[in-house]
Every structure is written in C-alpha cells, then in structure tokens.
Chains A and B, each alone.
Chain A
Amino acid sequence: MKKLLTLAGLLFLVNFITKGLLIKHVPNSLSFQEVGVLQFFKIFPNINDFSSRLVNTFVSSCIISLLFILISKRSKNFTLGLIVSTAVSLAPWFIILSGYLNPYLIPILFIILLLNFLPNKIGVFFAAFLFLISFRFLIVSHDILSIRFSLIIPALIKLFDLRTLFFQGDPSSPMLRVPLTGYFFYIDLIAFFSGVYYLFFINKITSLKKDVNIVLFLGLLFFFILPSELLMTQRGELVFLWMSIVIGFGYYYFFYTFKKINILLLFGFVFIIFMNFMFTFELLLNHFDKKNSSEWNYAEQTAVKYFVENQDIPVYMTNQSDKLYRYWNFYKQKGMNVFVVTLDEMKKACIDPKVICVAKEEELSFFNIEKDDSKQKFGNYDGLPMYFVLPSQ
C-alpha cells in the first residue's frame, strides 16, 4: 500500500509539474470559455495571468494518480496501472482538457473517485448518474433535456469514427484540435484494438472489466444528456477516457507479448511510440495555438493588453467589434473607458488624437484608410490582422 501511494504521489507530481509548465503556452491566450468560468466565480485576473489554469492541471493530476491506484488495486499489477495512467495522461485530448480552465474534468475525477472508494458497482452507477445529471443542469446548461435521435446517431457515429479519433480530432470546432492529430496518437489505433482483445478475451479480472465498462456506459449516458452544441471533446470525454484506458491495456498487452517474443521488438515498439509522441507534442507546442488562435481570442487579448497599457485613453469601437468589447468587459475594473458607438460617431471622436479608435477590416473603407496605414494591428497568432487602431482623422 505504501509503495502504491508513493508511486501515485510521484505520478501526481510529474503530471502537475509537466502540465503546469505548459499553461502559459498551450494555448497562449484566455478563451471566452475560461473567462466565463472565472466570471462565474467572480474572479477577475490580470491580463497576463494564466495561473487559474493550474486548477485544471491539479484536477488532471489527481485523476491520473487515482486511476493508477484503481487499476493497480484491481489488477494487483503496478505495471498495468502505470501504463494505463500514462496512456491517459499523455493522450492529446486529456492534455488539452488539462491545459485550460474548464469544468469538464470534474465528472472524470468524480467517477474515478467513486470507482476507487465505493465498493458497490450499482451504487457507483447511480451516484455517478445523479452527479452527471446535476452537472449537466447546474454547470453546463439549464435548458430542459431534449434528446433528438436524428442528431444523436450521426454524432455518435462521429464520436466512434476511427478517422476522427486518431487523425482528425474534434469535428465540432478546431478550438480543441491539434493540427494533424486526433484525440489520440496514431499508434494508439493498434493499441486500442489490442486493448479490446486483452480486456474482453484475456483479462480474467471481472471487477476491472466491470469498472471499465461502467466508464463506457456512463460516457455514453453523458454524451446523450449533454447539449449537442457542446464541443465533441467535452461531450465525449468519458468515452475518450474509456478508450484511453483500453489503449493502456493494449500497450500493456503489447509490451508483455513483445517481451516474450524478442526484447528488440519491444525496444522497436517503444521507439515508434516515442517518435509518435514527439511528433504530436511538437504539433501541440508549436502549432496548436497558432492554428487556433482565433478560437482562443488571441487578437482580443493583445488588443486588451494594449488598452491596459494605455489605460487613461478612451477607446472607441463599433458593434462590429462586439467580440473585443465582450472580452474587454472582463477586465473593465481597470478603469478604462471603452465606448461602443456608430461609425459616424466614431469618425467624429477620432478627430481627437488622444483617443484610440478600433475598427475591423470591413470598416476601414469608411475611414478611407488602408490596412497598412493603421497605427496598430491586433491579429491572430499566425499573423492575420483582426482589429486596426485608426490614425487620427
């Protein structure tokens, strides 16, 4: 038991430190979703403050440690526990959910906690069910539940689509999608099938099988009750958790088989996994934020930073810049003056050199200026300008 807890603690630390180091970079701006969560708790951080994301890093580290304990206890096999929890911890979908402030890791944590500490499976199921329903109505949406099978079936097919899972990622939005990557690594595809085989045909530990099946069952239930507008990563997170666990079993089975056949084969396999991990990690670190910066409000964040730096100067914009205004609203306690006006009013206001006038590209023609004539541009991370500070009229 002592060894188990020590290893779980170590796993927690490694997870917390490695993922904690990423919070400022991946992604490098706060999204509306995160801003929404902070506003819910009446928290208004500094524009450069990403520390709120540590909450998710903490929760995700707890999940990994608890999962390790669960699998190790059930199987009485530390290696299996370690491989499964590592497979979950490194899965792209889990890294992304761990890296920004969102409430969606809480159901996972709750279910893993239940599986660890509640011996009765039916009890686990009902407690989890009640929790998921409450989560759905209290946190996600207060709307009345309506399940439309015409929408559910295509969504379910997309959820279990191998191409989406292993190569393309979230089909509902690029926000949580790493370029050229699915929810999992490419090599996980083989591990998944091997894991299914291991879990259902080789593994004889019924309690472990039951736990894993409960996760899938609850995952499908969660998918059904969540609103269809939600991102697929969030709707399907428990199903992805189940898949990651199965993938972990698959890797264990591979390692076990390869070790028996030839140790060189094992090293070769580990090398391929490592290369796949490095390739995906490079995409996550260097391309995730660039590719998706518009979804993560990078342009709005840089614009607000500029307003903060010039906080005594009033800012004018039209309702075309609604997204920027909403984003700025979050930081408005800083004592800045931002006015949403019509184009004509803005033209008059901009005569004064001591104001900041912000326009969108489609509004520039009204002021007879080209993009390059603007005083300042705020764009997406990959360079596409979104907002322009007009020169004095």
Chain B
Amino acid sequence: MSFIKSKRFVLIALTFIGLLSFFLRFYKLGSIPNGPEWDEASVGYNAFSIAKTGLDEWGNRMPLIFSAFGDYKNPLYIYLSALMIKFFGLSVFNIRFISSLSGSLMVLIWYKISKLAVKDEKISLLTAFFLAVSPFGIFFSRIAGDGMILSVFLISLGIMFELLYLKNEKGRFFFLSILCLLFSLFSYNLARIVSPILILLILFLNFKSAKNKLVYIPVIFICLVFFFFVIKQSNISLKSRLQYVGIFGEEKGAVLQIKELREHDKNSLVSKIVHNKLTVSAIVLADNYLTYFSSQFLLGFNDNHLVYESHYSPLFIVLIVFYYLGIVIFIKELFGGKNSEDRLIRIVLLSLLFIAPFPAAISEGVSGKRSLALLGIMQFLTAYGLVFFINNLKNKYWKKTIKIVIIFLITINLFHYLFFYFFTFPKKYGLYYASRESRICQFIKDNYYNYDYFIYSRKINGFAYIFPLFCISYPPQQYQTNRTYFENDGWFTVKSFDKFIFPDEINSKLITDIINKKNKKIAIFLNEEENKQTSFDTKSIKKIRLPIQSEANYELYLYELLIL
C-alpha cells in the first residue's frame, strides 16, 4: 500500500473527498430539508434586516445578541449571513450557505488535524472521508439553525491552529487558535461551554512550552475583551436558556428522583444525606454524559421527531467498534513512549473528546445538536481505531477479506443514509421543517397583490409572522413601523403587519370582524381542526386545498373570501 504515501495519490484522494463533501452539502441545499423552518426564517430575516438597515427586526442597531422570537439568537451566523444576503438576496440557499461551507471545510480541517496528530496518511484520509459522509456532518451542514456547525467549525479551526502551534511554536498560530475559539462563543451555545474550557487548557499547556511568554499579553487581553462581551450578552440570554433546557430545574428529572427516594425512606436523615442534589445530580449528569458514548446514541435509535435532530445515527453501524477501539488505543498511547509534543497533541484531542458532550449532558433529553462538538474527533478516532485494527491483523488473507467486508458494509450504510436523507427524510419529517408554512409562504409570494388580507392563526404556527416576512422579503423599515405585537414571558408575539393578521385562533368573533371588512378580498388559512370548527355564512367563498408534500398528513385549507 505504498501508493498511499505518494503525494499524487493523496492529492487526488483529498480532492475527491473534498468534492464529495461539497456535493453532499450543497446538492439541493435550498429544498432539502424543506424550509425555511422557524429559526432559519428568523435568522434569515434578521440578517436581511441587518443587511438593509443595520438594525435587527426589533430595531436594535448591530446587536450583540438577537432577540428574535425572544429566544436570543447568537450574532455571528446572522452577521455572516447578512453578507451573503446583501449580495445575493434573501433565500433558503443563502441562509444555509455559511453552514454548508463550514461543514465542507471542516473535512479539510480535520484532515490537517489528523495529519498533525498521527502523521499517517491512511488515518488522515479516512478521517476526512468519514467526516465527508458523516450523517451528522451532512445533516447539520444543511440547516442554518443558530450557527451550530459554524461553532464546531471554529472550534475545529482553533484546535488545528493549536496543533500547528505545538508543532511549530509560532506565536501567530497560538493567537489564531484562541481567536477562533473566542469567535465560536458567538455562534452557538454549545461553544460557551466547550470553548472556555479549551481556551483554559490551551493557555495552560502552551505556557510551559512558550519560548516567548510575552505572546500571552495580547492573548489574555483579547480573551478579556471577548469574555466581557460574552458576559454582557449572557446576562440577557444564558440564565433563561439554562432554566429552559437544563437538568437542574425544580420539576426536572434529578429533583424528582431525589423526592421519590426520600419519600421511600420517609425523609429520614440518612436518606437526606445519601440522596441529595449533589449525589443524585452527579449520577444523572454522569448518566447523561455517558449517553454520548453509548451505542444507543451512536447508532441512533432515538427517533424523537424534533427539528434539528438528524434522525439518523452519528456513526455508521459497522464503525462503532472502531470508534471505541480508537478511543482506548489513543488513550493508551498517551501513556506510551511518545515525545512531549505528541503527548500534548493527544491531550488536546482527548480533551475535546471528553469536553464535547458537556453541553448536551447538562440539558434534558438526548440531543445531537448540543453534542455536535464531537463531530470530527469522532471520525478521527474511528479512522484511528480502524487503521490500528487492520494493521494488527497478521494474516494477509484475513486482512484483505476484512477490508473488503468493511468497505462493502460502509458503502451499503452510506447509500442507505443518502437514500434516507434525500428521499425519505423530506417526506417523513417535512412537517418539522415547516413544509406547511412553506406552502402558505409560496401562495403568499405568488398572490401578494391579489388579496387585501392574509389571515392565519398562530395555531398553524406559533411564530407565524416570520414566514411572510421572509418569503416576500418584506422591507424591514416598513415592518418595524406597521406591526402590532405583545410580549409574554419573554417571548414576542406579532399580531399583525401590513396585510397579515395572526390571531390566536380562528373563531366566530374573528369571522364577524372579517365580514365587516366590506369590499375586501381575504385569503384565510385553516388547519384541519379549525376547518371543522369554522363555517362561513356567505356564498362568496372559494375553497382551495393546498397540497402538502408530507407523509405526516397534516391537512391545510385555504379559503378565498370575497366580502361583498
């Protein structure tokens, strides 16, 4: 297998993997998955608003955090998307572009990381290939979300620069590494846990080896500046976010467990000593943490029907054994006779592996998106384990046979995944990617000038207003002046703007109000439940049923009302 070492082969293989990665991430990007879904529409419109006016949808100038629906979105992805939108306009493709680009480039970054870590071309190419075809890699690169893959991209870039620093000891790599990790803090919340720990680790590891300790002065300074902004930003968002998704709330799993165990013992003193927040929460936390190394997560048998969950396993079934093997061997070799530089590189990579699940472990439920920092390191360790396994097979015949079997199984798994993602997924899970809202959107886009009012209740969609804003690229200045809205428990609800009305529900009072709008042509959208409950006592109704491309079988009805 000496050809693997030839530069030409590596270049061809890497080009192929790179192209494959770009293809799998950009092919039909604007239509698979359906969209824009809620967050994409919100991110897109805020980016559009920034690009046009420098203000977000709520009129704040260049904010550090975007209020959006009241969920406080991180700024980096929105600002980067604003650049795209400024030049190419507001579209689903353009919102997802930064994500796809980050996901594609990550493949090359991890090739480099792998090469720096183990100097083995086979492992490096396999790492790049596994990442290029990784179900998590593909899925999360094709949605904008809140800049999830961008944060992982920046973390990976930070790791790559740190390894370059450990290899070359050039101060600029150290600086760039810290800078990437600091920027990741503004892309997705998982980085707010992963990156600070990595920064501390890098500062600590590099301190000993740094020849010129003066490099620490600008690094510490820039860290302080970034953390100042993060703290300022977190005052608004982080507390509410943690209460919402964390495991330590009053009615959350750990607290309920403690209550139950203490009741068994009739609240005895011993029970209070043994079953308290420290012990039980530690176990729940460890249990959650271990989830991200467990086969059920890695092989993805959690079909939780949530948006932003890939509905497919992060690893191909045949690779799980090699992932575990890779972890064990990589740890074992940390204690082997390697030089200090290699050891430091291993410490950095293993730290990433063990820190990455923390954001998901402190939140409730199993979450692919919060454990996304595992992307890259997971593929690297899998490649590492696989190559170790193959290299240790002594019998040539077995070596060849096992290689063929593994390639065959990976190919089957890959095609199964691609079929799932490009054919099954859009139909089966379209509803979670707002296929219904997209249909309404399309109708509005095509018929904006044909109607005087468009009405649909928030029963169809909690944040209905964002879809028409997005799909007709409604001018932000006008939107900010003619909307009506209210705030409830920190969440913003828009009731109307321009021709659009979003009532709580379609009921008889609303119908009476509509009837009073003389000489108006109204498009009213109802879901199945509303359609059953509502009757229009007028002859001038044209009923259109919108076809929805979804197996979820959610009906949607459109009535054209011409009030005479």
Contacts and interface: CB of A to CB of B under 8 A. Distances in A.
Interface of A: 153-154, 157-158, 160-164, 166-168, 179-180, 186, 189, 193, 196-197, 201, 279, 282-283, 286-287, 290-291, 382
By Cβ-Cβ distance, the 6 closest A-B pairs, closest first, are A167-B287, A163-B294, A162-B294, A290-B264, A161-B296, A157-B295
Given A163-B287, A164-B296, A180-B257, 6 more contacts: A157-B296, A162-B294, A164-B294, A167-B283, A286-B265, A286-B271
A162 B94 CA distance: 41
Nearest to B299: A157
A160 B301 CA distance: 13
14 contacts: A153-B317, A154-B301, A157-B295, A157-B296, A158-B301, A161-B294, A161-B296, A163-B287, A166-B290, A167-B287, A189-B290, A197-B328, A283-B261, A291-B264
Given A167-B286, A279-B274, A279-B279, A382 B296 contact: no
Q: Which of A161, A197, A279, A282 has the most CB of B within 10 A?
A: A161
B554 to A, nearest CB: 29
B274 A167 contact: no
Interface string B370-383: 00000000000000
B56 to A, nearest CB: 41
Interface string B265-297: 100000100100001100100110011011111
A166 B290 CA distance: 9
Nearest to A288: B264
Contacts of B297: 163
Contact of A287 (B261, B291, B293, B296): B261
A180 B296 contact: no
Contacts of A189: 290
A287 B264 contact: yes
A154 B295 CA distance: 10
Contacts of B328: 193, 196-197
B332 interface: yes
B120 interface: no
Nearest to B283: A180
Contacts of B263: 382
Contact of B295 (A160, A167, A279, A382): A160
Contacts of B257: 179-180
A197 B301 contact: no
B283 A157 contact: no
Interface residues of B, number: 25
Interface string B289-317: 01101111101010000000000000001
Contacts of A180: 257, 261, 280, 283
B446 to A, nearest CB: 45
A167 B279 contact: no
Contacts of B290: 162-163, 166-167, 189
B457 to A, nearest CB: 39
Contacts of A382: 263-264
Contact of B301 (A157, A166, A186, A196): A157
B394 to A, nearest CB: 15
Contacts of A161: 294-296
Contact of B296 (A158, A286, A290): A158
B266 to A, nearest CB: 10
Contact of A286 (B264, B279, B287): B264
A186 B264 contact: no
B412 to A, nearest CB: 14
Contacts of A196: 328
Contacts of B287: 163, 167-168
Contacts of B332: 197, 201
A186 B293 contact: no
Q: Which of A180, A189, A197, A201 has the most CB of B within 10 A?
A: A180
Contacts of B286: 167, 186
Q: Which of B261, B263, B264, B297 has the most CB of A within 10 A?
A: B264
Contact of A186 (B280, B283, B296): B283
Nearest to A162: B294
Interface in B348-367: none
B169 to A, nearest CB: 31
Interface in B232-287: 257, 260-261, 263-265, 271, 274, 279-280, 283, 286-287
A179 B256 CA distance: 13
B267 to A, nearest CB: 13
Nearest to A290: B264
A169 to B, nearest CB: 11
Nearest to B293: A162
Contacts of B291: 163
Contacts of B294: 161-164
A164 B287 CA distance: 9
Q: Which of B271, B296, B299, B317 has the most CB of A within 10 A?
A: B296
Nearest to A201: B332
Contacts of A283: 261
A163 B332 CA distance: 23
Contacts of A282: 274
Contacts of A167: 283, 286-287, 290
B346 to A, nearest CB: 16
Interface string B47-79: 000000000000000000000000000000000
B274 A163 contact: no
Nearest to A168: B287
Interface in B65-108: none
A110 to B, nearest CB: 29
A153 B299 CA distance: 11
B12 to A, nearest CB: 36
Given A180-B257, A193-B328, A279-B279, A163 B296 contact: yes
Nearest to B301: A154
A55 B163 CA distance: 61
Nearest to A282: B274
A382 B260 CA distance: 10
Nearest to A154: B301
Contacts of B274: 279, 282
B323 to A, nearest CB: 12
A279 B270 CA distance: 11
A157 B294 CA distance: 9
Nearest to A153: B317
A191 to B, nearest CB: 13
Nearest to A166: B290
A168 to B, nearest CB: 7
B560 to A, nearest CB: 48
Nearest to B292: A163
Nearest to A171: B296
Nearest to B263: A382
A261 to B, nearest CB: 11
A180 B264 CA distance: 14
A290 B283 CA distance: 20
Nearest to B366: A163
B303 to A, nearest CB: 11
Contacts of A197: 328, 332
Nearest to B282: A186
Q: Which of A158, A162, A189, A282 has the most CB of B within 10 A?
A: A162
B557 to A, nearest CB: 39
A312 B431 CA distance: 65
A148 B239 CA distance: 48
A160 to B, nearest CB: 5
B343 to A, nearest CB: 18
Contacts of A291: 260, 264
B36 to A, nearest CB: 34
Contacts of A186: 283, 286
A291 B265 CA distance: 12
A157 B296 CA distance: 6
Contacts of B293: 162
A312 to B, nearest CB: 36
Q: Which of A157, A189, A290, A382 has the most CB of B within 10 A?
A: A157
Contacts of A168: 287
A157 B321 CA distance: 12
A164 B294 CA distance: 8
Contacts of A290: 264
